[in-house]
Amino acid sequence: MHTVFPQFGFSSALNIITLIGEGFHSIDSVKCSFRDENSDVIVVVDGSFLNETAVNCKVGENVFTTAVYLMSYSLNAGVDWCETTLSFRSLSTPFIESLSQEQGFVNRELSSLVFGRNLAVRGALSFCQLVDQDGVEVVKSSAIPLEDGFGISCEINCPSATALYNVIISVENGVTPASSSRHPFWCVPEPTIHYTSPKFIAVGENTPIVIYGDFHPGMIFECRFEGRITSVIPAKVMVGSSSLECVSPAYSSPQRISLGLVGLTETVNLNVIDPVQVETVIPTMIFGGSDFVTVKGNNFIPGEMICSVQGKETMLGVINKTHAICKSVAKAKSFNGTLDIFLKDARHIIDRSNIVLYPTPSLETISPTSGLVYGGTTLVAKGQNFRKLHRSFCAFGDIFVEANIHSSKHLSCVTPELDAGNVPFKISLDNGMSMIGNQSFSFVRPIILNSVR
């Protein structure tokens, strides 16, 4: 005998083994013997005479165990045996443990690594098969063994139909193929990224970025951050929603980057920025609901920032990168706390300053409601929560005069000289930053008597 073909097979499959040599002749029935080289187990099966150079041995499914068998044969029904130096290797059934990609996009080809046992065997061809739930083959392609011998690389071409398929690896020894276990594989439409949050990343921080889109349950992605350096990071699937989470690398300097998912063409732009800094807030004592404060700092972004006083939020009016204006919230009691500044789409980027907030003042009545055009009338205003924080004023139209606060409910001022007529009356307790009230004051000319009789 010269050789045996094939030299290996799978214990779970039907194995037809051909002994190739010279001088074979048919005297009686052919027998084949396989002896486990590591034990005394011998398997004897029927064979068949092909011609003077070949004899077939047929071993049924699950007859062999995983072992190397030494071969011999008999041409006279087992009376005489011819020993050989040839062997046949029986392998366990190919088995898929995992796939690097468990889903693909319809009408797209995808490379996936398949890991498992006996998926690639020396001297055999391995094929990747995509089959439907009934086991009908949809796509078949050649597989490339990995260098470490623990898997193969498959090119899987998803059809146009969205469905759950199965991947099967077929290993062919030239005679009888063996198919692996099935592993689920989704073919779905390519997802669309709707938006991301936040859009800003602070320098030096690993920032969680949530990507919202049409993601199919069970899909696995990697996030690709493209800037001055490129980083690929596994994505975490958010439970109960069509979203993914990626944690950004920590960037050392401000820059514009793009974020995409490996395998998808769509990307979104993000900005790496220096952290927001608050240096001063002027003034630090204000009334609730009416006062504005000027915030000085660094790295303010117009239209993207929120200020918060005691957890109550309002848009921060950004003048430029270093100056902004924030309006206080309505407050019934005095409060010592902080004014927080942050990005509305990245609330982890935050800074704060201490501030004192006093109850919102109100103007209820004035007396008198009229006075002479020459001025000099003492006007008393009554209301709630009057407090001297800065200079206080009474405003007669556009004319401001100093006001004196006598208590939390009373203040007074002296009317200016104005032309006859009605003017709006308001008060300011914070140096004119905010105006309170909606009263009216009348300036009248004195009555002149020409004669008395």
Give yes or no: residues 81 and 15 share one domain: yes
Confidence (pLDDT) at 289: 67
pLDDT, tens digit, 9 for 90 and up, residues 7-57 = 888 888 888 999 998 888 877 889 999 999 888 889 999 999 999 899 999
Give yes or no: residues 164 and 200 share one domain: no
Residue 450 within any structural domain of the chain: no
Give yes or no: residues 281 and 329 share one domain: yes
Instruction: Compute CA distances 97 → 13, 119, 224, 263, whole Å.
Output: 20, 10, 27, 23
Number of domains the chain is built from: 5
Q: Residue 238: is its pLDDT beyond 80?
A: no
Give yes or no: residues 158 and 237 share one domain: no
Residue 10 within any structural domain of the chain: yes
Confidence (pLDDT) at 313: 81
Give yes or no: residues 323 and 353 share one domain: yes
Confidence (pLDDT) at 315: 78
Confidence (pLDDT) at 332: 59
Confidence (pLDDT) at 431: 84
Give yes or no: residues 179 and 215 share one domain: no
pLDDT tier at 118 (50, 70, 90 boundaries)? confident
Q: Is the peptide bond before 234 cis (omega within 30 degrees of 0)?
A: no
Nearest to 268 by CA among 198, 344, 345: 198
Amino acid identity, position 446? P
Amino acid identity, position 302? P
Q: Decide if 42 contacts 54 (C-beta within 8 A).
A: no
C-alpha 310/C-alpha 374 separation (Å) is 47
Query: Of the candidates 63, 91, 119, which is a domain's last residue?
Result: 91
Give yes or no: residues 42 and 121 share one domain: no
C-alpha 266/C-alpha 194 separation (Å) is 10
Confidence (pLDDT) at 291: 67
Give yes or no: residues 178 and 111 share one domain: yes
Confidence (pLDDT) at 12: 81
Query: Of the candidates 162, 188, 214, which is a domain's last residue?
Result: 188
Q: Residue 111: is its pLDDT beyond 60?
A: yes
pLDDT tier at 414 (50, 70, 90 boundaries)? very high
Confidence (pLDDT) at 240: 53
Confidence (pLDDT) at 392: 94
Mean pLDDT over 272-277 rounds to 86
Q: Decide if 188 contacts 219 (C-beta within 8 A).
A: yes
Tokens representing 391 are 């200079």
Average pLDDT taken over every residue of the chain: 86
Residue 432 within any structural domain of the chain: yes
Residue 449 within any structural domain of the chain: no
Residue 131 within any structural domain of the chain: yes
**DSSP bridge pairs for 405:** 411
Residue in the structure block whose two tokens are 């073909």: 5
Give yes or no: residues 308 and 230 share one domain: no
Q: Which pTM does this prediction carry? A: 0.55
Residue 139 within any structural domain of the chain: yes
- CA atoms 227, 233, 235, 236: torsion sign: negative
Q: Residue 149: is its pLDDT beyond 70?
A: no
Give yes or no: residues 156 and 104 share one domain: yes
Q: Residue 215: is its pLDDT beyond 80?
A: no
Nearest to 259 by CA among 270, 249, 243, 244: 270
CA atoms within 13 Å, Cβ hemisphere of 174? 11
CATH code of 166's domain = 2.60.40.10
pLDDT, tens digit, 9 for 90 and up, residues 306-351 = 888 777 788 788 888 888 888 776 665 677 878 888 888 777 767 8
Give yes or no: residues 373 and 343 share one domain: no
Give yes or no: residues 13 and 33 share one domain: yes
pLDDT tier at 179 (50, 70, 90 boundaries)? confident
Residue 56 within any structural domain of the chain: yes
Query: Of the candidates 358, 387, 410, which is a domain's last residue?
Result: 358
Q: Residue 374: is its pLDDT beyond 80?
A: yes
Enclosing domain of residue 230: 193-273
Q: Decide if 7 contacts 89 (C-beta within 8 A).
A: yes
Residue 399 within any structural domain of the chain: yes
Question: Which residues, in sequence order, are CB contacts of 267 under 8 Å at separation 6+?
Answer: 193, 226, 258, 259, 260
Confidence (pLDDT) at 444: 95
Q: Residue 183: is its pLDDT beyond 80?
A: yes
**DSSP bridge pairs for 230:** 226
pLDDT tier at 266 (50, 70, 90 boundaries)? confident
Mean pLDDT over 276-285 rounds to 82
